Structure 1
């Protein structure tokens, strides 16, 4: 990965970002989600496995655009595992003065990254659908091709929901939540081994504040 820009957030006047629940509609501008609870009534489907399964068709794209990369180095589709621990040094909890007794969680986001020529899918493993599993943060391109820091959005994700970031979509590294020591993800992405073509980063200091 290659850092292509560094920002000092105290000079930008960015307001805190309020996270919302992950749904196909809320995330559509950044890619797609895999969430059977939502898609069982929306996606094209058919019977499978001698009638014992319901197949939901093409719920998320898998895209390889490395034919357009400068080096022309071909990429392979790789399944990786990310064992993600909650970033406790970047998480905090405080009382919300506007709501009596309410507690506000905050995350300080210091990095947004993108994969210029590939989608990337994160599939959580081993977390109950009843529990909040992780936090996702995304941003659209600004006019300069870098993240538009005034349009950053955040999403609260359950343990039975996966996300697919669209090609070249700016997003934060995965943020595991909860009391468990870690959350495992199966991660599908195309990679060619050229650092600046596989991943670009933009950093923020001290960071973007996300409330959830």
Structure 2
């Protein structure tokens, strides 16, 4: 991991970002997702559960994984890994702008220059809010456009794939769970500046949810 920039957010005058529900259409500029309730048609759901019980329905290539390490300066090959992340929900504070909502401040955006990264929550009810995804487009200077941060609330049956080189915050667990476990798939070659780049924000950028 290499830190490429640090900001004092007190000097940036960034407005709170409103978190929205996680949908394929809303997240499309930043990567892919797996969301059965959005991606399985009613006919497919019926086929799997009623007409042909025990027969699975497959949707192929809905969130492709990408390895672009052949383009990296070091030319060191990357390997695919499954990692495990356990995230505990942070303490939220009452919103400073909207009654009945809560605030969360994130302090880091990171990106993986040559690989996608996928997070799949494990063991969380599909009806419950499980985690928060925070992303930002890249500005003309190559750093995150902090004025265009987007935040998405994800259910327990939704998985996310960040696109190659997409700025994103570390995963944030939500709800009353003690923790949320994630299976994480990513490529890496062990060269710090080719695996992860970070930008830090102090004291942080506020997400309202």
TM-score by length of 2: 0.92
Aligned to 1:10: 10
Q: Distance in 1 between matches of 2:118 and 2:6?
A: 26
Shift of 1:95: 7.4
* CA displacement at 1:106 relative to structure 2: 0.8
Mark the CA change 1:25 to 1:63 in structure 2 (over 3 Å): closer, same or farther: same
Q: Which residue number in structure 2 is paired with residue 71 of structure 1?
A: 74
C-alpha distance after superposition, 1:74-94 (max 9, x if no partner): 000101010111122xx2124
How many angstroms apart in 2 are the aligned matches of 1:36 and 1:50?
17
Within-5 A mapping of 1:43-58: 52-58=55-61
CA deviation after TM superposition for structure 1 residue 103, in Å: 1.1
Residue 196 of structure 1 is matched in structure 2 by 193
Count of residue pairs brought into register by the alignment: 204
1:131 aligns with 2:128: yes
5 Å-filtered alignment, 1:21-32, equals 21-32=21-32
Alpha-carbon contact 1:77-1:191 (below 8 Å) kept: yes
Aligned mates of 1:12, 1:93 — CA distance in 2: 22
The equivalent residue for 1:36 is 36
1:59 — aligned with what?
A: 62
The structure in which a higher percent of residues are strand is 1
Ranges in structure 1 where 5+ consecutive residues have no aligned partner: none
Indicate the larger mover: 70-79 or 47-56: 47-56
| Distance of aligned partners of 1:194 and 1:142 in 2 relative to their CA distance in 1, 3 Å threshold | same
RMSD over aligned Cα atoms:
2.1
Q: What is the CA–CA distance in structure 2 between the aligned matches of 1:117 and 1:79, rounded to whole Å?
A: 17
Is the counterpart of residue 82 in structure 1 residue 85 in structure 2? yes
Do the aligned residues in 1 keep the contact of 2:95 with 2:208 (CA within 8 Å)? no
Secondary structure of the residue aligned to 1:28 is helix
